[in-house]
Amino acid sequence: MDRTLEEKLSAFRALIQKIKSYEEALGVMYWDLRTGAPRKGVEGRSEVIGVLSTEMFRLTVSEEMNAFLDEFTLPEVYSQLDEINRKIVKESKKEYDRSKKIPPEKYQEYVVLTSQAESVWEQAKQESDFSLFRPYLEKIVKYNQEFIELWGYEGNKYNTLLDMYEPGMTVEKLDLVFGQLKDRTVPLAARIKKAKDKPDSSFLHQHYDKGKQREFSRFILKEMGYDFQAGRLDESVHPFATGLNPGDVRITTNFKPDDISFALFGTIHEGGHALYEQNLSEELRGTILCTGTSMGIHESQSRFWENFIGCSLPFWKRYYAEMQNAFPTQLGNITVEQFYRTVNEAEPSLIRIEADELTYNLHIMIRYEIEKALINDEIRVDELPEVWNAKYTEYLGVTPSRDAEGVLQDVHWSGGSFGYFPSYALGNMYAAQIMHTLRKQMPDLDAMIERGELHPVKEWLTDKIYRFGKLLDPSEIILQVTGEELNPAYLVDHLTRKYSEIYRLD
């Protein structure tokens, strides 16, 4: 007996839910690997991850999935689906077409490799020895090049990887917006370098008790609206957020006893990611749409909360007293204005996640150029330390003295996340554009923040962005929220205004 469309949709959604269940289990395993799993258990755990990932992969390319997609993409059937099911079919079809081209055994090899590589990267970073990580990275790059050939590409090979993290983005578009950003921020950075009135950051680098740092970070997360009944805060070498489902969104940070700003703003950053994942619509739970629409939009939220809220003067006019109470010896004689200027200091640095708001994008451009060159066989993996150091000298005027502060500083390549880094700079641009719109709709925004009224901001973002998950594409989100396509001018204007004031430029 033929099943009705409703029955077929129910079976299709059950298959999607099964795939998401595997994904959630894998998410817990990855989280455990990066938050303290015993080193001797890494190899075994990586094998388990490889097996489960392959089972999930097989489901996404199964005959059952193919049969569903063949039927649901028929015009006469597709037209009968509601908005959510149409998008689920569209995204599942895109994933199926991409995954079907990868042999399952090759996929499993790759998953095991990247699982092992993340732990090797940690060791290599601790020992500041790129040679330990190099063999793994060489294999990861080779796999990505092979996958691109199987997937196919238009124009630059790197476009295929970009599209996985920011649908519709291309090298041509990125070169244009990055060029506009670079042309206007580099001269501003040069003016700041010559400025005579610079903040003194020495008070940030005293001893700050890790326990009190953790307590204050939890306090700020709660003020932002992070739900600890649906999440937790842990430590890891590289801060990250993991959204298993809206009821379980975990974040990590890294507490440095001699730097109060590192964990604080890292926590706010990851908290921005978490707010997105915790406030997805319940209608999307258990589907392929129950996640952020793109990494660029996701990063817009982490950068929005970190830079446009957390690094603002109104924010610290509200919360600085609590921070002084937590650290009276270190901050008792430091005014809120001094603190604000110092945490917004613009100074070229070696470490991306410690970079200021102004020079941060240059870190991303360096990685973007290196990734393009690697994928297109213009440079070799064994040349990376030399290429990396040369670009830092050229772009930022600083040169790494060891691998840990240079080519080994980021975890992304160990997991195979090529094409991801541009999302950070795109996130900055999206965030500035979103804030411009928010200010128009909430003219008293600064006063609200100064009163600690962050809930209306979170609710506005939930209504405009979070609840939609992957239902809308990134271009649709930014157009719907701001009324125009991505425009880097808003970020440049914001940076010019902010840093001209902080450094009292003429």
Catalytic sites, residue numbers: 270
- In 162-281 the beta strands, taken as DSSP E runs, fall at 231-235, 241-245, 248-253
What pLDDT is stored for residue 478 in this prediction?
A: 97
Residue with tokens 């489901």: 59
Token pair listed for 456: 């209306």
How many CB atoms sit inside 10 A of residue 108's CB? 20
Return all residues near 292 (Cβ < 8 A) that are at least 6 apart.
276, 277, 298, 301, 469, 470
At 309 the pLDDT is: 98
Q: Where are the beta strands (DSSP E) in 154-277?
A: 231-235, 241-245, 248-253
Contact predicate 405/385, CB 8 Å: no
Helix, strand, coil shares of the chain, percent, nearest 5, are: 70, 5, 25
The C-alpha atoms of residue 432 and residue 360 are separated, in whole angstroms, by 14
- Specify whether the CB–CB gap between 428 and 360 falls below 8 A: yes
Q: What is the DSSP letter of 486?
A: -
Fold of the CATH domain 171-502: Neurolysin; domain 3 (1.10.1370)
Q: Which two tokens stand for residue 305?
A: 């909360």
Domain ranges of the chain: 5-152, 171-502
- Rounded to the nearest 10°, the torsion over CA 264, 267, 273, 279 is -100
CA distance 167 to 75: 23
C-alpha–C-alpha distance, residues 94 and 489, integer Å: 33
Q: Is 332 helix (H, G, I), strand (E, B) or coil?
A: coil
Which residues 6+ apart lie within 8 Å of 468 measured at CB? 281, 293, 477
What one-letter code names the amino acid at 236?
A: S
For the record, the structure tokens of 457 come out as 């901001």
Query: Is the dihedral angle over the CA atoms 72, 78, 80, 86 positive or is it negative?
Result: positive
CA proximity to 95, closest of 20, 171, 155:
20
One-letter identity of residue 433: Q
For residues 166 and 423, the answer to whether their CB atoms sit within 8 Å is: yes
For residue 143, which of 113, 123, 180, 179 has the smallest C-alpha distance?
Answer: 113
Amino acid 2: pLDDT: 60
Among candidate residues 425, 420, 444, the one with its CA nearest the CA of residue 486: 425
* CA proximity to 330, closest of 243, 259, 273, 253: 259
What is the CA 64 to chain-centroid distance, rounded?
33
323, 326, 329, 332: CA torsion to nearest 10: 30
- Under CATH, what is the fold of the domain 5-152? Methane Monooxygenase Hydroxylase; Chain G, domain 1 (1.20.58)
139 and 374 Cβ atoms separated by less than 8 Å? no
Q: Which two tokens stand for residue 9?
A: 């949709």
Examine domains 5-152 and 171-502 and report if their fold is the same.
no
149: its two tokens: 């050939």
- Residue 407 in tokens: 């080519």
Is-contact 178 365, C-beta < 8 A? yes
- Taking alpha carbons only, the member of 476, 471, 499, 495 closest to residue 486 is 476
Ramachandran region, residue 397 (left: φ > 0; alpha: ψ -120 to 50; beta: rest) = left
Task: Give the pLDDT of residue 1.
Answer: 41
| pLDDT, one tens digit for every residue, the chain (506 residues) | 468 999 999 999 999 999 999 999 999 999 998 898 898 898 898 899 989 999 999 999 999 999 999 999 999 999 999 999 999 999 999 999 999 999 989 998 999 999 899 889 999 999 999 999 999 999 999 999 999 999 999 999 999 999 999 998 999 999 999 999 988 888 898 899 889 889 989 999 999 999 999 999 999 999 999 999 999 999 998 899 999 999 999 999 999 999 999 999 999 999 999 999 999 999 999 999 999 999 999 999 999 999 999 999 999 999 999 999 999 999 999 999 999 999 999 988 999 988 899 999 999 999 999 999 999 999 999 999 999 999 999 888 899 999 999 999 999 999 999 999 999 999 999 999 999 999 999 999 999 999 999 999 999 999 999 999 999 999 999 999 999 999 999 999 999 999 999 999 87
